[in-house]
Amino acid sequence: MSNIKTPAEQELMRAAGRVAARTLRDMANEIAPGVKTRDLDEFAAERMRALGGRSAFLGYRNYPRHTCISINDEVVHGLAGERAIQSGDLVSVDVGVTVEGYIGDNATTVPVGDCDKNTQKLVEVTEQSLYAAISCAVAGNRVRDISQAVQDLVEGNGFSVVREFVGHGVGRTVHEEPQVPNHVDTRRKSPELVPGMTLAIEPMVNAGRAAVKTLKDGWTVVTRDGKPSAHFEHTVLIRDGEPEILTWPDGKK
Amino acid sequence: MAGREEISLTGRVVAAISGAACRVELKNGHRMVAHTTRKNSLDLTRLNPGDELILAASPFDFSKARIVRKKTERKSDYEGSRIGQETL
């Protein structure tokens, strides 16, 4: 099985991406003080079903929830539970949906109520870094060019890039080759981008230091220094020219 | 020059004969003795039955062949690029 998608597969990826994006959009709109993360997760599961998909995460490597909801110092893979969202929280939601065997994967971060200025800036920089990365996701470039774009913007603003977790190819499975790190390691080879690749580009940015740890539940990743972290993600189709963002709620972008 | 033509073959190791030679079997079932050369001091102790070898043989004598190199599987394009754990 190749990670290079045929035009027919690209069409299926588009459909999956659209469902993932709509689910994420609707889920983000539900985020409000007092909402329990478990209810948010259930809501997303229902939206996926209504839109003709199902969670790509549930059961993948035994992941126990439909989505990831990571609050404040939680970086990624936060597990939904009885925790209620509070005003001032920074909530990241990550949604992966399977539609007809193909997967769309995207994430966003929403500040709830009044966040402090630095947190606000963290969210803005992380989102900008995602789009900076996407603009580098052109056939002929290397994965490293994507990583460089993220790292330069993030570190230029005084934040740090999570090293241990990386973006990835996505298609018929949640994870395909190649890995898409958000930082540059010149000791490693960096694959060339080829038209037809579909990548989940996902900068994870910490307000404080880059170090993270995984909690005892085996999933939740938190910052070691306890400072907040933001996460944005799109599934992107590599083309010769401008890349196509597949996880867009209404048609092409 | 006559006698310099060589035929390139691929064979599978059947058994070791000595430290410098082993018995190989071609795809068509023909068995021959494969030798290392001094120039190419391949360590035969690191070969196992079933390993594939690239051989060169004279068109006049198919009982023996020279080992050119061990046939290695092509590495994945992504080998050496892995760096962390993929996020969901």
Task: Tell me the helices (H) and strands (E) count for chain A, helix number first.
Answer: 4, 15
Whether the CB-CB separation of A65 and A15 falls below 8 Å is answered with no
What percent of the residues of chain B are helix, what percent strand, and what percent coil, each to the nearest 5? 5, 45, 50
Of B76, B51, B64, B53, residue with least CA distance to B6: B64
Query: Does A191 contact B81 at a Cβ distance shorter than 8 Å?
Result: yes
Domain limits, chain A: 7-245
Please say whether the dihedral angle defined by the alpha carbons of residues A231, A108, A43 and A55, taken in this order, is positive or negative: negative
pLDDT of B62 above 70: yes
The nearest CA of chain B is from the CA of A188 a distance in Å of 5
Q: What are phi and psi of A128, to 5 degrees?
A: -60, -40
Question: Which residues from B are below 8 Å from A63, CB to CB?
Answer: 88
**What's the confidence (pLDDT) of residue A126?**
97
* pLDDT per position as a tens digit, A213-225: 999 999 999 999 9
Q: Per residue in A97-114, is it b (16+ CB within 10 Å) or e — as a string?
A: bbbeebbbbbbbbbbbee
How big is the A-B interface in CB pairs under 8 Å?
62
**What's the confidence (pLDDT) of residue A61?**
93
Chain B interface includes A168 (CB < 8 A): yes
Of A76, A77, A189, the CB nearest to B81: A189
Give me the percent of chain A exceeding a pLDDT of 90.
Answer: 93
Q: What is the spatial distance between Cα A42 and Cα A58, in angstroms, rounded to a whole number?
A: 12
Instruction: Take residue A167 and report the two structure tokens written for it.
Output: 């973006």
Torsion of CA B25, B30, B34, B40, to 10 degrees: -80
The nearest CA of chain A is from the CA of B27 a distance in Å of 28
Of A197, A4, A15, residue with least CA distance to A100: A15
Instruction: Take residue B9 and report the two structure tokens written for it.
Output: 């073959």
pLDDT of A124 above 70: yes
- What value does the mean pLDDT take over residues B25-54? 84
Of A96, A191, A231, the CB nearest to B78: A191
* Tokens 């996407």 -> residue: A134
Domain A7-245 falls in which CATH fold? Answer: Creatine Amidinohydrolase (3.90.230)
ipTM of the complex: 0.81
**What's the confidence (pLDDT) of residue B1?**
46
**What's the confidence (pLDDT) of residue B51?**
87
* Tokens 């694959």 -> residue: A191
Computed over its alpha carbons, how large is the radius of gyration of chain A? 17
**What's the confidence (pLDDT) of residue B48?**
82
- What value does the mean pLDDT take over residues A117-132? 96
- What value does the mean pLDDT take over residues A186-207? 94
Query: DSSP labels for A105-133?
Result: EEEEEEE-S---HHHHHHHHHHHHHHHHH
All structural domains of chain B, each given as residue ranges with its CATH number in brackets, are 7-70 (2.40.50.140)
- What value does the mean pLDDT take over residues B21-50? 84
B3 pLDDT tier (thresholds 50, 70, 90): low
Chain B interface includes A164 (CB < 8 A): yes
pLDDT of A138 above 90: yes
Return mean pLDDT, chain A.
95
**What's the confidence (pLDDT) of residue B74?**
67
* pLDDT per position as a tens digit, A89-100: 999 999 999 999
Q: What are phi and psi of A222, to 5 degrees?
A: -125, 160
**Three-state DSSP class for B55?**
strand
Higher pLDDT: B47 or A63? It is A63
**What's the confidence (pLDDT) of residue A78?**
96
- What value does the mean pLDDT take over residues A31-41? 96
Q: What is the spatial distance between Cα A70 and Cα A109, in angstroms, rounded to a whole number?
A: 9
* pLDDT per position as a tens digit, A200-215: 999 999 999 999 999 9
**What's the confidence (pLDDT) of residue A107?**
97
Return mean pLDDT, chain B.
84
Q: What is the spatial distance between Cα A176 and Cα B86, in angstroms, rounded to a whole number?
A: 9
pTM of the model: 0.79
